[in-house]
Structure 1
Amino acid sequence: MLPSLLELHLSGCKIERIPLSIQKVNITSLLVLDIRMNSIISPLPSWFSNLTSLRKLNLSENENDYGNYFTGPIPREFARLEYLEGLDFSGNGLEGHIPKLNLCKLKTLNFQGNKFGGGIQGLLSGFSNCTDGVLESLDLSSNKLEDELPDSLGMLHNLQYVNLEFNNFSGKIPESIGKLSSLKTLNLSYNNMIGPIPDTLGQLSELVHLDLYGNSWEGTLTESHFANLTRLQSIDVSTYRPMSLNVSLTYEWIPPFKLYTVGITNCSVGPNFPAWLQLQTELSDVTLRSTGISGTIPEEWLLKVSLQLKYLDLSYNHIKGRLPLQLKCPNLYHIDLSYNKFDGPLPLLSANLTVFNLESNSFSGPIPSNIDQLMPTLKGLYLSDNQLEGTIPPSICNLRRLSILSLRNNLLFGEFPQEWSVWPRIDIVDVGYNNLSGNMPSSMGVPSSLHVLKMNDNNLGGTIPSSIWRNCTSLRSLDLGGNKFTGNMTLRIGSNAPGLFFVRLRSNLLSGHISDQLCNLPFLDILDLSHNNFSGPIPKCLKNMTSLVEGFSNATDYESYIEQARLTLKGRELVYNKTLFLVKSIDLSSNNLEGEIPEEITSLIALGTLNLSRNQLRGNIPFKIGNLRWLETLDLSHNHLSGQIPQSLSSLTSLSHLNLSYNNLAGKIPSGNQLQTLEDPSIYKGNLLLCEVPLSTKCPGDETFTATDEKDSNEDGNDKLWFYVSMVLGFTVGFWGVCGTLLVKKSWRYAYFRLFDDIKDKVMLAIAVKVAQFQRKL
């Protein structure tokens, strides 16, 4: 018995279960129970509710290496803990609705990182009977809560901290939010909230941090939204619907706050650089991403914020001009000016940079030869899609923290640095679409940490180093196409990199057979070996390429790096980047492949493009080609295929590009479904024994009249049939309409015959008169 025990601290004691015997211990005087950071696997024990004197209960972060934690719903008996001031269940697996708790003395409530669902109306109703609610901190972030925020949120007048991010809340922010006069932090980021932001936010005079990122806001932010926010230090707002929220603040408006952090994304701020922001000279973190700003950045403002600036993101705008040469930002560690119209030499702003992203601009000149000294801590160097020229300096290999090097699509020439193998952490090397020459560096090996290697569309030659296949076991994407590489690749592709999802070696001088080892790539989505000198048969083990059979996506999302690939699909060369993960393609065209198309290829149900054209393939088109139900492009042209076109081809309802020309195919062209839309006869050209639509050649044994004549004949027959039916119906209706009436109505029958007699007399009289007149003339 421990009747006098007031506090029990068991945090970090590696407890795996709560002993049942503890229920029998008299600890009803306990004020503090702390068993956080353990490894307990259990629902919340209902006997906790017997500890009616508790002031603080902390069960947070109860997880171990296996992810075990408190689970299940909160027992309603917890409402008996009426003296609780602090309740922390964060980092567990609690679920269900949050019940009404009636904890009027509660100051801190932390349910972050659980699985609670439903709304919070029940939770808030528990405070409705409190004469003087004292709740100061409410953290329900990272759950599965939904529904609209209730107006009753505004009754918690003492709230200072509200964090509801990473949930599924919908609807608008309630107008009652303006009643939280003590609120210092409001975080509603990453929900499904919509509609205009209420201007009652401008009444929160104590507000310091406002986070509204990652919702679907609309409407306009005006001066009234910020009228009394004199303590505001950071604001972060974005919308998933581009430009649906307009930040409309007049040029003359002087903000009442002094910001240190501003983040605005996908909202309309431009076209001019905002005047109100130029008055914020203490900024350390600035994000104005995709805001419609054009023109130049005010040089005076840049120089004022340069000393304290740490993070700068102005990407996806239309900003032009050059950065001031005298601009130095000693504390800057992240700069992103990508997708703008900046020009001039590369700005060298800070020796503390870890991310240097200037992609898709018009920067020119060389990469500094001493870049390792100018930016020694660099982790990400993004200079793609500019007009940089010169060589890649060898000193770049001294950047030992470098993980991403993206120099794609510039005017760089010369050899790639030989010392690249010393990079210990490099994940991505993309130097495609330049004028690099020489051999691929291999004397010192290839970095084994590589995930993405793109050296495509240069003038590189020699053999592809075997160490790529041997050492780069984490390789996910390889593009060496558009070069002059030579050598036999029979035993290499796929030999030791099972995670490959993208392989593009097209337009080289490679030779050898396509090895069965290629089938050991279960995640492969895109294979392009076209325009080489590969020979031999197509492997029959293709059904082992699981991704092309089952259709799951294997593309990896790399921070700030957008993978780009130029692929020939649907008869055209297309550039893919953000949609690359949707592509499923095999292109083996323009080689010297022989033998038959293996029937096993029809197991690749998820395949979208199959191009085997311009080879020496023989035999029939696989009978089950119709199994490839997602196929959009099929090109088997310029081979020696024979036999009939399988009828199953007509079941390819997604097919939009077909080319079977210049083979030895024979017989009737299948019809129906999608094939009816492919009316260009050139797709069957060069097959002399093919017949039927869309070709003009008729198959032997067809009827002498055309299908059109037959249709017209059928239409004529139908017209005659309806003519006779109409005559019969007309006669029947007319006969019974007259005669039937005479039979039924006796008075009508007498009147009818009298009328007939009168008409007969008049006719006879007229005839007699005419005869008499005629006789007189004679």
Structure 2
Amino acid sequence: MANMNTTFVLLLNLLYLLLITESISLEAVPSNSIAVNANVSCIEIERVALQKFRKCLKDPFNRLSSWVGQDCCNWEGIGCSNQTSNVVKLDLGSSNLCGFEGGSQYTPDQPSCLSGKLDPSLQNLKYLSYLNLSNINFQGVSFPYFLGSLKKLTFLDLSFTMFSGVVSPSLGNLTNLSYLNLIPSPFSDRTLSVSNIYWLTNLSSLQYLNLQNIDLSKAETHWLQVVNMLPSLSELYLSSCGLHHLPQTLPFVNFTSLSVLDLSNNGFNSSSIPPWLFNLTALINLRINLCDLKGSIPNIARASLCNLKNLDMSFNFNISGPITEFIQALSGCGNHRLEQVNLGSNQLSGVLPHSLGYFTHLRELHLTNNSFSGPIPSIIQHLSRLEILDLSYNLMNGTIPVFIGQLIELSTLDLFSNSWEGTMTETHFLNLKKLTWFSLSSTRKSLVLNVTHDWTPPFSLQNVLIKDCQLGPAFPAWLKTQKNLLGISLVNSSISAKIPNWLWNLSSLLLHLDLSHNQLKGDLPKSSSIVWVDLSHNNLTGSLPLWPSVSYLSLRKNLLSGPLPVNIFQRSIPTCLGNLAGLKSLVEYSTSPIRSLLLPLTYSEHMDLTAKGAQREYYSQIFLMNSIDLSRNNLTGEIPEALTKLSLLFTLNLSWNQLTGKIPENIGVLHGLETLDLSCNHLSGPIPPSMSSLTFLSHLNLSYNNLSGPIPSANQFQTFIDPSIYEGNPKLCGPPLITNCSLLPSDGDTEAVDEDEDSEEFRSEKLWFYVSVVLGFIVGFWIVCGSLVIKKSWRHAYFNFVDEKKDRLFVAIKVNMARLQGKIEA
């Protein structure tokens, strides 16, 4: 009996020790339980596993140089338990984006980049609770299945790791997981997808879940049902997941702890905004922008989203109706926390509600591109923390209130494209010391900006955009004080003075200058370092300047004169234009309708470009566009061969000039060319066969030139079936023209004639031909007539012969007439 009691006591002690060991292994990893001293030695099997893992990695900057010796607990990125010496933390994550498909791309400022393969030996780290391998380039290998065996994990970050294929459902075994981040690498051309996400229901402790850019299309019918079963979930990121189904109802809301919800950039097929979104009372950040949502904002209970700080519903384009009730409901909270509101690019309407003024913590208010009307409400003056106020592209009217100048934190004031009227003075800017962006225009063209000539603004702008306002007639001298400008746009602002010399050297940062549609006078400077220049529709005189740094230039509709210089920009259309290998867009005093509201770097660029035979609008990055439009000028000479070096060119318009010579033979190397317009010139010779290789060419116009020979019929030319493309070229033949090539001289003959017509030798030959014809006539005339004058017997014989023939002809006519008359009388 005593032996049995002893045995029982021993068993209890062993069980107690096991329970202690188990509790130690479940410690929270980020706490102070991770060893940082040399007294803790790692376990051999775990050290071997780490060494195998290390051998599969490339480490060109020796980030893992400390991974030597027997004590792995002192290696970089390794943490061990103080009690058991087990490896509980592996943190090799990096804040750098470290690679492209096929291998890492290392730079001196990215010493933390690693790449290679993920060795399955990591599954021997049985007590690992923290694993961060973010930004390691695993080169497109399939998502590792073995990670599901690391059941102690509470933290797993595999973001930007270049895995591909299907996310392993074995992650559902990680029931202790509280943090899961699987964002795929933006540099990979391989996708990462999820076949179903029911395995997530096992992760009841999950607080953070980030599946951005992972294809969830196969799970779109049940994604909401699954995440709603995660009661601890605090942050959910499902941006750009290919979801198209947004349930309108949710029987019960289980994830009530949710503070961050990001569903942006999912095309929900014109779904309405579901009311259950506004029942998530713990929400701090809500992003449902770029979701193709429609309809009005649903009614919500007053004070239901009192924790909300950031709300983004922009770029849905079809959310409509007034926002008065919605804003009033949000303003019902005693403690207003709202800091950022973005409702831009929708169809919202009505006046701005006075309840906006209750959000005293508001820092950003984006209402651009809607249909809001009425004046700026006076209660806006209470938003003393406002940094960004964007009311652009609406239907608002009235005067701009003076209290705008009291918003001392304002850095961006965008009032572009509304129906403002009245006058803005220095008082409107009185305390705007932090203003860096100012944009203003009035569709009524009745807004006056009236400041004194010697006004010194309190701000230092980076971008200024003023259009359709009365700013002139003098050039605004206050710009001289703005030394940090990146962009200046003063379009249609009634300025009729000369461009001051100081403007061209105002700021070394200045990239963009748009002074179009004014009455500016004078000559242009000989040099300028500005990259993007639009001075079209003015009264500028003189010749075209030499600006080596320019990437976009529009000088159309001015009074410029003289020939196009050979060294224009040191990259002229004659011979040297090909040096502009990075040319984006060049529009030399063309009269084509092209304008831009672009300001560099931070502006949402807009450009109307005459291409493909029509005026087209381009949004996005204007500097990605490669185009040359020199139409409607008086340019002479030939099209230089060097122009074909602009390999990224997509639009070439040289129409309505006086260009001569041939189309460059190797124009076919411009593989990206979409629009080619050479109409209304004096070009000659055949259409180069290499043009058949322009597979992206969709608009072609070669009309009204002197082109000759057959029209190519291969590849892309089979799509150009409109005869008007080639009309006005009488020597062209073949489909779609009705002229048969067999009726015209051969290509060689035509080419030879074309080549000779402009040569001095051909003109000399024509002169001698005409002289020989005249001389031949004179010599032949006197050979016949001279002999009759000199030889009397020849003269008598000749005239007797003529008289005899005349008499016979007379008798024959009389006889035939008598016979005809007899028959008629009979």
Give the TM-score taking structure 2 as reference length: 0.64
- 2:296 matched to 1:220? yes
Letter in 2 for 1:77: F
Checking the alignment, whether the CA contact within 8 Å between 2:143 and 2:168 is kept in structure 1 is yes
- 2:375 matched to 1:296? yes
Match of 2:495, SS state, is: strand
Q: Following superposition of structure 1 onto structure 2, how do residues 612-691 of structure 1 map, counting pairs within 5 Å?
A: 612-613=679-680, 615=681, 617=682, 619-620=684-685, 622=687, 624=689, 627=692, 630=697, 632=699, 634=701, 636-637=703-704, 641=706, 646=711, 651=718, 653=720, 655=722, 658=725, 660-661=727-728, 665=730, 672=736
Letter in 2 for 1:426: L
Query: How far apart are residue 120 of structure 1 and its match?
Result: 4.7
Query: How far apart are residue 55 of structure 1 and its match?
Result: 2.2
Structure 1: distance between partners of 2:284 and 2:365: 17
Instruction: Provide, for residues 610-640 of structure 1, a one-character-per-residue CA deviation record: whole Å limited to 9, x for no partner.
Output: 2342x5x374453759847846452543x6x
Letter in 2 for 1:231: N
- Structure 1 equivalent of residue 438 of structure 2: 356
Structure 1: distance between partners of 2:626 and 2:479: 34
Change (3 A) 1:672 1:484: closer
Checking the alignment, whether the CA contact within 8 Å between 1:355 and 1:379 is kept in structure 2 is yes
Change (3 A) 1:623 1:21: closer
Checking the alignment, whether the CA contact within 8 Å between 1:23 and 1:47 is kept in structure 2 is no
Query: How far apart are residue 113 of structure 1 and its match?
Result: 4.9
Match of 1:138, SS state, is: strand
Instruction: Provide, for residues 121-153 of structure 1, a one-character-per-residue CA deviation record: whole Å limited to 9, x for no partner.
Output: 65x5334346xx221112233555544234111
- 2:580 matched to 1:461? no
Change (3 A) 1:268 1:528: closer
Structure 2: distance between partners of 1:607 and 1:129: 54
- Structure 2 equivalent of residue 163 of structure 1: 237
- 2:413 matched to 1:335? yes
Query: How far apart are residue 427 of structure 1 and its match?
Result: 1.4
Checking the alignment, whether the CA contact within 8 Å between 1:260 and 1:284 is kept in structure 2 is yes
- 2:467 matched to 1:410? no
- Structure 2 equivalent of residue 552 of structure 1: none
- 2:183 matched to 1:183? no
Partner of residue 480 from structure 1, selected from 546, 550, 555: 555
Query: How far apart are residue 401 of structure 1 and its match?
Result: 1.9
- Structure 1 equivalent of residue 388 of structure 2: 311
Structure 1: distance between partners of 2:231 and 2:314: 27
* Identity between Structure 1 and Structure 2 (%): 22
Structure 2: distance between partners of 1:494 and 1:152: 62
Structure 2: distance between partners of 1:59 and 1:523: 38
Structure 2: distance between partners of 1:326 and 1:487: 52
Checking the alignment, whether the CA contact within 8 Å between 1:208 and 1:232 is kept in structure 2 is yes
Q: Following superposition of structure 1 onto structure 2, how do residues 182-201 of structure 1 map, counting pairs within 5 Å?
A: 182-194=257-269, 195-201=271-277
Query: How far apart are residue 593 of structure 1 and its match?
Result: 3.6
Query: How far apart are residue 596 of structure 1 and its match?
Result: 4.6
Query: How far apart are residue 495 of structure 1 and its match?
Result: 2.8
- Structure 2 equivalent of residue 519 of structure 1: 578
- 2:163 matched to 1:94? yes
- Structure 2 equivalent of residue 426 of structure 1: 510
Instruction: Provide, for residues 438-474 of structure 1, a one-character-per-residue CA deviation record: whole Å limited to 9, x for no partner.
Output: 12234xx522xx33111122112233432x12xx1xx
Query: How far apart are residue 428 of structure 1 and its match?
Result: 0.9
Partner of residue 233 from structure 1, selected from 309, 316, 330: 309
Instruction: Provide, for residues 593-613 of structure 1, a one-character-per-residue CA deviation record: whole Å limited to 9, x for no partner.
Output: 444555555766735242342
Change (3 A) 1:246 1:15: farther
Structure 2: distance between partners of 1:647 and 1:43: 53
Instruction: Provide, for residues 298-335 of structure 1, a one-character-per-residue CA deviation record: whole Å limited to 9, x for no partner.
Output: 12x22121x21111111221011112123321101112
- Structure 1 equivalent of residue 678 of structure 2: 611
Unaligned segments of structure 1, at least 5 residues: 63-67, 497-512, 533-554, 676-778
Change (3 A) 1:619 1:325: closer
Structure 2: distance between partners of 1:656 and 1:343: 51
- Structure 2 equivalent of residue 31 of structure 1: 88
- 2:147 matched to 1:78? yes
Structure 2: distance between partners of 1:86 and 1:135: 10
Change (3 A) 1:183 1:673: farther
Of 179-188 and 32-41, deviating more is 32-41
Structure 1: distance between partners of 2:463 and 2:235: 35
Match of 2:134, SS state, is: coil
Match of 1:215, SS state, is: coil
- 2:475 matched to 1:436? no
Structure 1: distance between partners of 2:327 and 2:135: 50
Change (3 A) 1:651 1:61: closer
Instruction: Provide, for residues 498-551 of structure 1, a one-character-per-residue CA deviation record: whole Å limited to 9, x for no partner.
Output: xxxxxxxxxxxxxxx95111234456576666889xxxxxxxxxxxxxxxxxxx
Checking the alignment, whether the CA contact within 8 Å between 1:407 and 1:430 is kept in structure 2 is yes
Query: How far apart are residue 260 of structure 1 and its match?
Result: 2.2
Structure 2: distance between partners of 1:243 and 1:207: 24
Instruction: Provide, for residues 541-570 of structure 1, a one-character-per-residue CA deviation record: whole Å limited to 9, x for no partner.
Output: xxxxxxxxxxxxxx9985425354575985
Change (3 A) 1:657 1:407: farther
Instruction: Provide, for residues 694-729 of structure 1, a one-character-per-residue CA deviation record: whole Å limited to 9, x for no partner.
Output: xxxxxxxxxxxxxxxxxxxxxxxxxxxxxxxxxxxx
- Structure 2 equivalent of residue 60 of structure 1: 134
Letter in 1 for 2:124: N
Match of 2:402, SS state, is: coil
